[in-house]
Each structure stands twice: as structure tokens, then as C-alpha cells.
């Protein structure tokens, strides 16, 4: 069994044969949608940052790595920033888009994202599931290549607009990501955190229905809630 918990904003905690946290921003004094503080997060084996903007890479990222001696996977330049913040070099696993790392039988592939800075998405293959966390991104046509090459079964997609794609673009992304017919679940993220962002997922759900019906389950979570696979 695998469990995916939304930590608020773009953060997720994936529990399976190993435990993975992506883009934690578990600092309630800074993040109004944080599910809890980083100290309450369970054991972590791998920490992933999709890019180094403060709402994806921050002090809670560093504290979790140090607490659990977790391996840190990110674009190479982001891992250098973690080193400057005191993370031991042996815990840093920098890579770049298109490259795959395999640790403890789990594969991690950094993929394209359309944003500003050292941005990426991540494909995780673990326990028979393929999870795609898109990071902060606009829609791009090569999402169909992600579908072809990696066949994601669960996608974690930003829908909040302003800094990322909005509901309409994200619904088209779902269509592209399902071109191989593998996609089963989509969890929207990166919305409702700030007044600038789209505040709920209703329009996204409706846009997906217009495009592909109800063949894919859109899973709307509150911070701290989980999807079990």
C-alpha cells in the first residue's frame, strides 16, 4: 500500500517501502496552509525539491534532511544551496532534467517544468506506482512525452494560476498526461495558499470533466488528508 498525504501548497508526503517528502513548506508561521510543523512529519528517507523558491525549498527542507539523514534529490544547483545551508555533502544527490537516479530500488527522474529559475518536475517509480509531481509549471506540449515515456499513474498538478498554470491549463495537462491511458488519479495543488491564487478546485474538476469525462479520479484533499493507493 502507498499513502500520499497533501501537506499544503505543493508539499506531499509519500509513504511506501520508503518515505518521501516533496517540496515541504512546513512552517505554519509562514505558510497558512501548512498541515503541521516539520517536527511532526514522520520518518523521511528522501527529500525532493522541485526548485529553490522559498515555498518549495526552505528551512523545513533543511531540518528534515538533517533530522533523518535523508537523501536530498534536486537540480544540481539547488543541492549546492542546501550544502551552503549546512547539509552534509554525502546526502546531496544533484541531477538535471532527463536524468534518472535509482536508490533502494526506487527511481527518481527529473523532468521538464516551465517556471523561473532551477525548476523541474519529478517522476517517482515505487511499489508499482508512478507518481508525477509537476512542480511549479505552465502546461507544455511535451507532457505527452512524459505520458509516453513514464506512464504516470498519479499526477500532482498545480492549478492556482498567477505563478503556475490555472484550472483550464491544468485540465489540458491531464488530457496530455493520459495519452498513454495510464493515469488513474490527479491531486491538485498550489492553490488557495495566498489571495493571489485560485482558491478552490471546482473549476479544475469541471474543466477535466469537459475534456475527458470522469474516467480519471480527481482527488480533492485538505491539508493533512491522504489518498491511499
Q: Which grid coordinates belong to 167?
A: 484550472
Q: What is the pLDDT of residue 11?
A: 98
Backbone dihedral region for residue 192 (phi beyond 0: left; psi -120 to 50: alpha; all else: beta) = left
**DSSP secondary structure of 16-80:** SSSEEEES----TTT-TT-SS-GGGS---SEEE-S--STTTSSHHHHHHHHHHT-EEEEEHHHHH
The CATH number assigned to the domain holding 135 equals 3.60.15.10
Residue 227 lies in a domain: no
Per-residue confidence (pLDDT) for residue 117, from 0 to 100: 86
Q: Residue 161 falls within a domain, yes or no?
A: yes
The answer to whether residue 66 sits within a structural domain is yes
Q: How far apart are CA 86 and CA 180, in angstroms?
A: 42
CA dist., res. 179 & res. 197, Å (int): 28
Number of domains in the chain: 1
Could you give the CA distance from residue 71 to residue 88 in angstroms, rounded to a whole number?
10
Domain-located, residue 229: no
Domain membership of residue 201 as a residue range: 3-221
Tens digits of per-residue pLDDT, 7-29? 999 999 999 999 999 999 999 99
Whether 127 is covered by a domain: the verdict is: yes
198: number of Cβ within 10 Å: 21
Angle separating helix axes 76-84 and 59-68, nearest 10 degrees: 80
- For residue 178, being part of any structural domain is answered with yes
Per-residue confidence in pLDDT tens, the chain, 229 aa: 999 999 999 999 999 999 999 999 999 999 999 999 999 999 999 999 999 999 999 999 999 999 999 999 999 999 999 999 999 999 999 999 999 999 999 999 999 999 998 999 999 999 999 999 999 999 999 999 999 999 999 999 999 999 999 999 999 999 999 999 999 999 999 999 999 999 999 999 999 999 999 999 999 999 999 999 9
List of residues 6+ apart from 80 with CB closer than 8 A:
94
Is the sign of the CA dihedral 37, 199, 12, 79 positive or negative?
Answer: negative
Asked if the structure places residue 158 within a domain, the reply is: yes
Has residue 228 been placed in a domain?
Answer: no
Amino acid at each position: 500500500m502507498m499513502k500520499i498525504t497533501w501537506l499544503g501548497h505543493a508539499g506531499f508526503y509519500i509513504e511506501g517501502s520508503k518515505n518521501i517528502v516533496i517540496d515541504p513548506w512546513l512552517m505554519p508561521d509562514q505558510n497558512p496552509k501548512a498541515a503541521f510543523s516539520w517536527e511532526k512529519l514522520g520518518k523521511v528517507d528522501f527529500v525532493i525539491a522541485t526548485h529553490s523558491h522559498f515555498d518549495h525549498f526552505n528551512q523545513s527542507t533543511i531540518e528534515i534532511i538533517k533530522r533523518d539523514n535523508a537523501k536530498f534529490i534536486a537540480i544540481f544547483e539547488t543541492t549546492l544551496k542546501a550544502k551552503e545551508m549546512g547539509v552534509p555533502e554525502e546526502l546531496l544527490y544533484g541531477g538535471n532534467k532527463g536524468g534518472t537516479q535509482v536508490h533502494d530500488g526506487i527511481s527518481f527522474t527529473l523532468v521538464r517544468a516551465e517556471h523561473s529559475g532551477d525548476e523541474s518536475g519529478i517522476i517517482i517509480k515505487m511499489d508499482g506506482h508512478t507518481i508525477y509531481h509537476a512542480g511549479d509549471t505552465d502546461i507544455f506540449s511535451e507532457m505527452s512525452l512524459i505520458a509516453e515515456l513514464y506512464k504516470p499513474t498519479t499526477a500532482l498538478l498545480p492549478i492556482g494560476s498567477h505563478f503556475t498554470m490555472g484550472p483550464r491549463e491544468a485540465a489540458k495537462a491531464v488530457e496530455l498526461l493520459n495519452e498513454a491511458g495510464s493515469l488513474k488519479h490527479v491531486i491538485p495543488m498550489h492553490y488557495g495558499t495566498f489571495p493571489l491564487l485560485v482558491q478552490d478546485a471546482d473549476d479544475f474538476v469541471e474543466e477535466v470533466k469537459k475534456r475527458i469525462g470522469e474516467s480519471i479520479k480527481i482527488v480533492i484533499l485538505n491539508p493533512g488528508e491522504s489518498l491511499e493507493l
